[in-house]
Amino acid sequence: MKINRRNFLSYGTALVLGGAAGSMLTPAPWKLMDDLAIWTQNWPWTPVPEDGPVSYKPSVCTLCPGGCGINVRLTGGRPVKIEGLRDYPVNNGSLCPMGFAGLQYLYNPARVISPLKREGKRGEGKWTPVSWDEAIAAVTQKLADLRAAGRPESVACITGSDHGAMDAFVSRFMTAYGSPNYIRSATAMDAMEQAIDLTQGQQGTPVFDIENADFILSFGAGLLEGWGSAGRMLNLFGNQKSAKKLIQIEPRLSDTAARATQWIAIHPGAEGALALGLAHVIIKESLYNKYFVDNFAFGFSDWVDETGRAREGFATWVKAYGPEKVSGLTGITPEKIMSLARDFAHAGKPIAISGRGNDDLPGSMDETLAIHFLNALVGNINKTGGVSALPETDYAKWPEINIDETASKGLQQARIDGAGGDEFPNTRFLINRLPGILLAAGESPIQALLVTDANPLYALADAENTKKAFDRIPFIVSFASFMDETAAFADYILPNHTHLERLQVVPATAGVARQIIGLAKPVVKPVYDTRHIGDTFINMAGALGGFVAQAFPWKNYEAFLTESMGNQWEELNQKGRIEIDHSLPDPMAFAFNTTSAKFEFYPTARSTKRQAGDSALPTFTPVPIEGDPNRFKLTLIPYDAMRLAGGDIANVPFLTKILDDTVLKKQTGFVEINPATAKKLGFKEGDSAKLATPKGEAMVRVHLFEGIMPDVIAMPRGLGHTAYSDYLSGKGTNVNALMGSVEDPTSGLDMAWGIRASLTRA
Amino acid sequence: MSSTNLNKAVSPEAGPDATPQAHDSASSKSSGWAVFTFFMIGFVGSLLAGWILFPELLYSQKNQPIDFNHAVHLDAVTDGCDSCHYFREDGSFSGMPDLAACEDCHQEAMTDNPEEVKFVEEYVTPGIEVPWLNHSKQPDCVFFSHAAHVQGADMSCASCHGDIGTSEHTRVYEENRITGYSRDIWGQSISRLGKPGPGDPRPMKMNDCAECHEDETGHKGACFQCHK
């Protein structure tokens, strides 16, 4: 039996067949099949949940200023879920989608994972990771140089909020360093705070005691779009059976409008006219609270000033706003205006709330005052179930601060944004004015900019212009946790921990009727090489030396909290919160801190020099939004949505995933358009279109929506990012970039509520 | 060689080259016996490979990081297996104790035992969790409740895990090179025939679960009971 070429095949086949037959009688093929199936389940990229003991760590969410309590579920030390914290006085277990999705901030691919130094051109995205020592040395060197040159005021700081110990900490740094230019991002509360200051002489956070009110008249406030503390609002209005009467006035059927007892569509921007019209009816029909108005109000009836000149009181002033005229301005029938006025005045505890959307836009001072006057007309001021102001409790005991001569000189300089100056004496922050000022000046008045918890390059109107303006600032330092638009444009990034990694004292936000101070505790060790912003500022102060270092004597931020909060720290650390009852002024006394010691319908402190005539009384003049109506035949308004983070913080994938495909489809965002308008322009559902405003253009698709007024189109805030990660950048259009800013003549705040726009076939 | 001559005779024209070819043609015909032989070589060879070589190749042999003595610990503790492998308050099972649990006693070495000294030096002092090799680890798609079996059905640990509690040394951990799981899951017998000896751990494939469930409860159980 020889093997050769000819029989090789036969024998070979026999061998293989024998082998195959034999192997079928062994466990090998069956076992291998089983093992391969299991192998496919254990590929390294297949996520496997952590195993271990389950625990909960209570904390406070700091993603927005809402201050909701959260309960973080951990498995084996890894946070796996965030829930609303039950019995927490702000939100009692409820939480917004962003809060629930909070884990994706911790593990976000857009996180800045170590200090970065810019390489190449600004915004080019080329970075070199540097050590913390190197980054802090570079930043303090620049700050020290500017101080040495006697220009500490040329350092500005933009921050997302000015409540809470951390913000006070940054503000203290600016004071010790010698710059008055501490600037807070804009919110609707800017206008409301000022209205309360002007009329009641009270400085503090506005309180809307909605829990105890029975009739809410909201002039476009996005109560279910993220306004105030979203968890609190969900408790109040999320339940369809909620007995609270809510009248929503806005041009678009928002989620709040859909949930409201009644939605009244109004011409965009005419809210102030409606408020004056309602006041007219309430006064004409003598439905106002006479006890309050007669005893505790000033400027209601006609009066004579110290020069002997006769002045019109508010009652006379609003005679110009009869229902017929207001109907023409607002598009609401005179009958409706009259019945709404009567309902409001007859309610037990009615509250009128101003401010559109989730309070990122300040709005016009006239409008805010006119709406707040409705609260005064029914006498629901400084009462349970009414509107009041919560003075900022100084829960931290700060050691006295000494400043040197350089700092003292710097602090005496006027603020760069003009807030608090001759022109806008009643306004505290005017971030919206920065781009214009930066572009107009020969040399940038800001030589170094520190940005904490804010993203002005995304949030400010007219992105292109803003970018040009910020490019004139020679040195920008961002303390962002994420590569947001402003961080991407910075020279140095000194990344802060995310909300689940940092210790923070969080006072509850605007609206809540009690002072609730919560403690955000780190639930997990820092995932990356980031540093608590408080520690970074302590390091920077230390490196600057002198009085600046003396103002920050603490080892770290935690030491500052434990030392400065004294006895309260223990309670806060144990209970996770401190509650201080908001003692309202005696309702029979109604002491106000104004010049007249009364509620001022005629706000004497209001700057009136650019006001029509010379009266400080609120008038209705349409906000001159930008755009030639002949070229731009439509009006574009931005809107907020709970599933879209539109402000200083951006969406995570979980949130973007739950957007309707009539908001975002693939990479293109939608504008909402009334079917009648769409028909006129020849658009069908889902058509591509070119959206143009005086500030820019964008490719969009149209979504036909009965809930938007004809000739008005709406777009959500929160899309169209250019930075962050692939999960967000390039998706949709940034509506802020297409907006223009209109300065309020008396407050300087941005009062633009929209812009003129055109939609053409693409 | 007669056939060669015969061939030559009948084909005188055939050249000299033809001779070797013709010579081979008879013996080069694949004989049935030869084919059968090759078939059998393949058959027996693969049987041997499949039954003997394959299991040898499939599993790698590893030792536990520390040669743990269960017997000593079981004597020293008061609560039996529960002392270290306990149920948490929420009913979930703690499984292998973590370093913190070991540290309750072993902050420092309690004896001169070289394994204990090694444990303290290499793990306790630097605070590193011991990378124990778990003989009973199941894939993530399997949901198993210890509480239902131990507390609910009153089963002993040994009924599945064998007499591990009285062992004085750790066993060699045979790791499946493809799946990464222990050989114990499939069972020591590669054929999965026969029953494990008394005191041996029981195999833990799905069929093993189903078999026991059928015996004990009369039903193999539904998919979602384990695959949630």
pLDDT tens digits along A528-573:
999 999 999 999 999 999 999 999 999 999 999 888 888 888 889 9
Q: Cβ–Cβ of B50/A51 closer than 8 Å?
A: no
Cα A682 from Cα A665, distance rounded (Å): 21
Q: Does A55 touch chain B (CB under 8 A)?
A: no
Please give the average per-residue pLDDT across A280-286, as a whole number: 96
Q: Cβ–Cβ of A31/B88 closer than 8 Å?
A: no
Tell the burial category of B15 from Cβ atoms under 10 Å away from its Cβ (0-12, 13-18, 19+): exposed
Cα B153 from Cα A122, distance rounded (Å): 67
Query: A161 pLDDT exceeds 60?
Result: yes
Q: Cβ–Cβ of A4/B28 closer than 8 Å?
A: yes
Query: B152 pLDDT exceeds 70?
Result: yes
The residue type of A577 is: R
Nearest by Cα to A82 from A48, A56, A110, A108: A56
CB nearest A41 (choices: B37, B139, B191): B139
Please give the average per-residue pLDDT across A502-513, as a whole number: 80
Search chain A and give the residue with CA nearest B57: A28
**A79 to chain B, closest Cα gap in Å:** 18
Query: B9 pLDDT exceeds 50?
Result: no
At residue A589, the pLDDT reads 59
Chain B, window 133-152: residues with a beta carbon less than 8 angstroms from a chain A beta carbon: 139-141
At residue A615, the pLDDT reads 76
pLDDT tens digits along B15-28:
444 444 444 444 55
At residue B4, the pLDDT reads 42
Alpha helices in chain B (DSSP H): 2-10, 18-28, 32-48, 54-58, 70-76, 99-106, 114-119, 146, 158-161, 183-186, 206-217, 223-226
Find out whether A433 and A722 touch, Cβ atoms under 8 Å: no
Cα A2 from Cα A364, distance rounded (Å): 105
Beta-bridge mates of residue A58? A71
- Name the percent of chain A lying above pLDDT 90: 66
At residue A455, the pLDDT reads 93
Q: Cβ–Cβ of B38/A11 closer than 8 Å?
A: yes
Cα A554 from Cα A247, distance rounded (Å): 50
Choice between B161 and A584, residue whose per-residue pLDDT is larger: B161
b/e map A90-99, b = 16+ CB within 10 Å: bbbbbbbbbb
Contacting residues of B for A2, CB less than 8 Å apart: 24, 27-28
DSSP A13: H
Domain boundaries, chain B: 31-62, 132-226
At residue A239, the pLDDT reads 78
Residue carrying structure tokens 């003049």 = A621
Distance of CA A271 to the CA centre of its chain: 22
- Name the pLDDT band for A435 (thresholds 50, 70, 90): very high
Collapsing DSSP to helix, strand or coil, B118 comes out as helix
- Name the pLDDT band for A65 (thresholds 50, 70, 90): confident
At residue B11, the pLDDT reads 45
Please give the average per-residue pLDDT across B33-44, as a whole number: 91
At residue B20, the pLDDT reads 47
CB nearest A16 (choices: B42, B49, B95): B42
Beta-bridge mates of residue A670? A701
Cα A650 from Cα A648, distance rounded (Å): 7
pTM listed for this prediction: 0.85
Cα A72 from Cα A103, distance rounded (Å): 9
Find out whether A466 and A458 touch, Cβ atoms under 8 Å: no
Beta-bridge mates of residue A226? none
CA distance to A108, B63, B192, B205, per residue, from B184 (Å): 39, 15, 11, 9
At residue A244, the pLDDT reads 83
Token pair in block for residue B41: 């070589």
Query: B192 pLDDT exceeds 60?
Result: yes
At residue A597, the pLDDT reads 86
Chain B, window 183-202: residues with a beta carbon less than 8 angstroms from a chain A beta carbon: 186, 190-192
Neighbours of B225 (CB within 10 A): 14
Q: Cβ–Cβ of B28/A27 closer than 8 Å?
A: no
A186-190, A717-721, B96-100, B150-154, range with the lowest pLDDT: A186-190
- Name the pLDDT band for B3 (thresholds 50, 70, 90): very low
- Name the pLDDT band for A609 (thresholds 50, 70, 90): low
Q: CA Rg, chain A, in Å?
A: 30
Please give the average per-residue pLDDT across A636-643, as a whole number: 93
At residue B14, the pLDDT reads 44
pLDDT tens digits along A329-379:
999 999 999 999 999 999 999 999 998 887 677 788 999 999 999 999 999
Q: Does A14 touch chain B (CB under 8 A)?
A: yes
Collapsing DSSP to helix, strand or coil, A600 comes out as strand
Token pair in block for residue A93: 């277990």
Query: B12 pLDDT exceeds 70?
Result: no
The 3 state secondary structure assigned to A392-433 is CCCCCCCCCCCCCHHHHHHHHCCCCCCECCCCECCCCCCHHH
At residue A583, the pLDDT reads 66
Choice between A406 and A587, residue whose per-residue pLDDT is larger: A406
Neighbours of A657 (CB within 10 A): 11
At residue A582, the pLDDT reads 63
CA distance to A328, A603, A609, per residue, from A308 (Å): 37, 18, 20
